[in-house]
Chain A
Amino acid sequence: MSATTHGHNDDTLAGRLSRATDVSVTRCYQCGKCTAGCPMAEEMDYTPSHILRLLQVGLDGFEDRVLRAYSPWVCLTCEMCYARCPQEVDIPKMMDFLRAESVRLKKVNPRAKDFVSLHKTFLDSIHYVGRLYEVGLIAGYKARSWHLFQDVLMAPKLFFKGKLKLFPHLIKNRKNMSQIFKKAGTARTEAAK
């Protein structure tokens, strides 16, 4: 599926999406099957086909609505839409790109701030430890989101069951991991240009 309608100099959101992910919004013929089968459609402010429509038309302010939308953050990446799409539009990939773009352009939906905190903390854990470090994740999330006392009563139980290790279990070659992050970071900034 190559993006034919969005050239290299197309600085619209749809153009950047197509360059970065090879997902072309023009392929969508607005049948709505993705929305019809989406388990999270009820929770979304713009359903998947609606997001695609906004990107297709791309009038003033539409991109902003997409970037500030809540939908990308509730998308579960279950890929039901992609599996059933008659035009094979990779919506989960698109949602992933939209999440990254809204973070980059600082347009994250206010309701999704906690999601971003969790995402960032999770990635930090992978970046510096190489795998999931639970205590670090909890601490980082709480520090970022200010939900200091949320679920705090579960901590002792988890600790005694051995689910919370105080020190991280590092992987062998953490240098490689940070190189991956470095590369992915540059690739993303490149792609978004």
Chain B
Amino acid sequence: MSRIGVFVCHCGTNISATVDCPGVAETLSHVPGVVHSVDYKYMCSDPGQTMIKDAIKEHKLDGVVVSACSPHMHEPTFRRACAEAGLNPYLCEMANLREHCSWVHDKEEATTVKAIDLVRKMVEKVKKNQPLYSIKVPVTKTALVLGGGIAGIQAALDIANAGHKVVMVERDPSIGGHMSQLSETFPTLDCSQCILTPRMVEVAQHPNITLHTYSELESLEGFIGNFKVKIRKKARCVDEKLCTGCGLCSQKCPTKKNLSEFNEGLGYRPAIYSPFPQAVPNKPVIDKTQCTFFLKGKCKVCEKVCPTKAIRYDQEDQILDIDIGAIVLATGFKVLQPDFFPEYGYGKYKDVIQGLQFERLASASGPTSGEMKRPSDGKEPETVVFVACAGSRDEAKGLPYCSKICCMYTAKHAMLYKHKVHHGNAYVFYMDIRSGGKMYDEFVRRAIEEDGVKYIRGRVSTIYEEDGKLIVKGADTLLGHQTVEIKADMVVLASAAVANDGAEELAQKLHVSYDPYHFFAEAHPKLRPVETNTAGIFLAGACQAPRDIPETVSQASGAASKVAALFSQSELTREPIIAVVNRTAPPLHSTCTGCALCVPACPYQAIEMEDIKNRDGKVVKRAAKINPGLCQGCGTCVALCRVKAIDLQGFSNEQIFAELMAL
């Protein structure tokens, strides 16, 4: 006969307001197998837990049912208390009287009756509970950082400096990300490249970091501490070991008129190229879609001029298999091409550009070497209009969120323009100025007060060309809602920040959840902002939501510290809530018939077939076996097994039926 203790919690008045808690305790004390039944105001408090511990010792309890809140909330608390009193923690169960009863019903007799049923059901389950022991799994102390922008760079350096191995994978030929494209950064106007490139070099030279550029994640298997990833290293067509980065190939390449991605289409690059002179690694790649040799079968100029004979036209994509313990997702964002606003004429008028293009125009390393020249005719624009919220906060276009960075970068753009063209006019059309952040609002005020940027509160309705000028029609909602018309030479649209290409696909590969805009979702918006719902995968930077550099860097450091904490232990403890295939004495060995239907059904590839041998080493039976390290306890195989040979520990068929029969 079982010796079960029932502990009914009032949860202040959360439960006791509608449920008669002493009544529940009293009724339960008459249930066969229950030897101790009490109620208390706060079971989770210290005196409450002590009550449970004392009862376990005093009444020699072999099962505990705590009737309180959701197990999600306090199951670990009560199981720990039981363990401290010497009872196997998995012999403690919770009946959810709060969410499942008191919160959803009014105060009446039926509510208490339901509460009693919920507790009785759990008592019957506990009678069938078996002691379970947590599973220990080893941790591979290598982190994978996906993305080589400032988020990835910071996370990789922090993890590597903590003494752990890091594998960094970047899709583009060079690391650096969007930050390497920026001319200056707010709110201090320091040069972006000057602060970023030393970090890029540090990544390349760090003994703990292995860098794979021009590579992408192919697939991911496994679980926290024990991921197995496949990385596709795309063919650069250049032997990275032999190449010295002299750049002769790029100089001599005859196909020079390819739009440069790095310069946002405002400049050109050859078919064999490194994106920018400070690229890390400074090894070129051949763009097979543009190279004359790949298109027409002849040319090979680069091969001829290369002093170290590093060109490999026949190089193929390589697949690397790497064991990983944790992953930092830092795949960043992209700037939306604002051509879905036909009224703004982006794509139609050459002098209507987006924010990142302006960065390249203003950058000393850009196509104009930092001189303010407009794209259409290379003239210095006398009047420039900056349009904030070009895409953001537009529910009609499906982007209701604020991109957060545009207010600040628009102020910076207007300021940079005024610094380069002193007599020029800069107008900013804005809806709200969102400049929360250290020194941010001061920065915007500086643009207005010191640099004379004119801010007009209103959204632009349309932009069209007339007599060589771009007519910008807006309204000044502070000036009695008057219409305003500005004849501009150049217009800069502060385009929205959106999720990067392939974000959705990547999230599905990694089993990470994402929001409707394909930004990766954090586990908790406030308390777990750098973790995902998949254990061992962390988030850094703008792949989670649009954010600026300081925030990105701090989030990356946060993610890195999570990884370092994970790697600080040599093995992980996991809940033993996993499926097991039964094993019995010979000659049956197991009720499993070896049909192997469960093998393909398992979403985690945790099931394999095992040969059961007799003493002579002869195979007498084939039965399924579940790898406890891989099993996530989803129960798919249990439902599928035709002979009921598989059971989920802690939720066995016997336990579930016992619960149901109690009702």
Tell me whether A32 and B458 are in contact (CB under 8 A): yes
A84 to B461, CA, bound (A): 7
Chain B residue contacts of A84, Cβ below 8 A: 343, 461
- Our count of residue pairs bridging A and B at CB distance below 8 angstroms stands at 74
Residues of B within 8 A of A29 (CB): 393, 431
Interface residues of A in 101-119 (CB under 8 A from B): none
Q: Is the beta-carbon distance between B396 and A86 smaller than 8 angstroms?
A: yes
B63 at the interface (CB under 8 A from A): no
Give per-residue flags for A8-38: 1 if the beta carbon is below 8 A from chain B beta carbons, else 0.
0000000000000000000001111111111
- Which of A39-47, A60-68, A127-135, A156-164 makes up part of the contact surface? A39-47
What 1/0 flags go to B460-481 for Cβ under 8 Å of A? 1110000000000111110011
Q: Is the CB–CB distance between A42 and B483 below 8 Å?
A: yes
Given contacts A33-B461, A36-B458, contact A49 B397 (CB under 8 A): no
Interface size class of B (residues with CB under 8 A): 20 to 34
Chain A residues with CB below 8 A from B483, complex form: 35-36, 38, 41-42, 47
A30 to B480 CA separation, bound complex (whole angstroms): 12
For the complex, give the distance between the alpha carbons of A87 and B397 in Å.
9
A residues near B477, Cβ cutoff 8 Å: 30-32, 35, 49, 53
Q: Is A88 an interface residue (CB 8 A)?
A: yes
> Do residues B460 and A36 form an inter-chain contact, with CB atoms below 8 A?
yes
Would you call B611 an interface residue if the criterion is a C-beta within 8 Å of the partner chain's C-beta atoms?
no
A47 to chain B, nearest CB (A): 4
Q: Is B459 interfacial (CB 8 A cutoff)? A: yes
Please provide the chain B residues from 371 to 428 with a CB less than 8 Å away from any CB of chain A in the complex: 389, 393-397
* Chain B residues positioned under 8 Å from A30 (CB to CB): 431, 477
Q: Could you give, for residues 75-87 of chain A, a 1 whenever the CB lies within 8 Å of some chain B CB and a 0 otherwise?
A: 0000010001111
Interface string of A162-173 (1 = CB under 8 A from B): 000000000000
Q: Name the one of A32, A42, A46, A80 contacting B459, with C-beta atoms under 8 angstroms.
A: A32
Quote the shortest CB–CB distance from A146 to chain B (angstroms). Answer: 34
Question: Bound complex: CA of A107 vs CA of B458, how far in Å?
Answer: 31
- Contact residues in B for A41 (Cβ distance below 8 Å): 475, 483
B482 within 8 A of A: yes
- A87 is contacted by which of B396, B462, B484 (Cβ under 8 Å)? B396
Could you tell me the distance in whole angstroms from the C-beta of B214 to the nearest C-beta in chain A? Answer: 39
Q: Is B461 within 8 A of A36, CB to CB?
A: yes
Q: Which of B396, B480, B481, B484 is in CB contact (< 8 Å) with A85?
A: B396
The residue in chain A whose Cβ has the minimal distance to the Cβ of B432 is A29
Q: A86 CA to B398 CA in the complex, in Å?
A: 9
* B-to-A contact residues, CB < 8 Å: 343, 389, 393-397, 431, 457-462, 473-477, 480-484
- Complex A-B, nearest 3 residue pairs according to Cβ-Cβ distance, in ascending order: A37-B461, A36-B461, A32-B475
Known: A29-B393, A33-B461. 7 other contacts (CB 8 A): A30-B431, A31-B458, A35-B475, A36-B458, A36-B460, A41-B475, A84-B461
Binding site for B on A (CB under 8 A): 29-38, 41-42, 46-47, 49-50, 53, 80, 84-88
